[in-house]
Amino acid sequence: MANASTKKTAANNVIALKGLHTYSLVVNAIYVLAWLFIRRPPTLTPYIICNLPAWGIEYQLEKLGRPKYAENGALLSAGEDLAMKGLTEYMWDVVYITWACDCLAMVTGSSAAFLLYLTIPAYAIYGAYSTFTASKKR
């Protein structure tokens, strides 16, 4: 039974990583093409600054979740479950917010759309504050 669970985790990870890489490629390619051909938004600087963490997270999720197989095709490691709660979940959220900023910047034509990225540290501060105040009440 444990082997079936491991195989299921490996299959789910492969699907999640394929979706991650596909959507990332599509969003980033459309953004760069929009910038190249219609200069919308006018600069790439906020795009690069805000996408660096997402690209790093994409790399980290790939390293964590990619299943490893032996040469004969046997599953050696399913990788970490990419549907885990906690830090992995927050990493997915950062990627999704980055894509939302990219799409909003393309639609509006303004780099000010990347201000939405400030929701990430705001949520981190809120989470830290609520954890701190909850521990003080005990």
How sure is the predictor about 55, in pLDDT bands with cuts at 50, 70 and 90?
Answer: very high
pLDDT digits (tens, 9 = 90+) for 57-108: 999 999 999 999 889 988 888 889 999 998 999 999 999 999 999 999 999 9
Other Cβ atoms less than 10 A from the Cβ of 44: the count is: 14
Res 138: pLDDT: 64
CB 82 within 8 A of CB 13: yes
Handedness of CA 131, 136, 137, 138 (dihedral sign): positive
* Model confidence at 134: pLDDT above 60: yes
Q: Is the pTM of this model over 0.75?
A: yes
Mean pLDDT for the stretch of residues 100-120:
92
pLDDT digits (tens, 9 = 90+) for 14-31: 999 999 999 999 999 999
Residue 121 CA to residue 124 CA, distance in Å, equals: 5
Mean pLDDT for the stretch of residues 25-41:
93
Res 2: pLDDT: 54
Look-up: residue for tokens 């990332």?
24
7 vs 137, more confident: 7
Res 1: pLDDT: 47
Res 136: pLDDT: 73
Per the DSSP assignment, residues forming a β-bridge with 68 are 77
Break the chain into its structural domains and give their ranges: 2-136
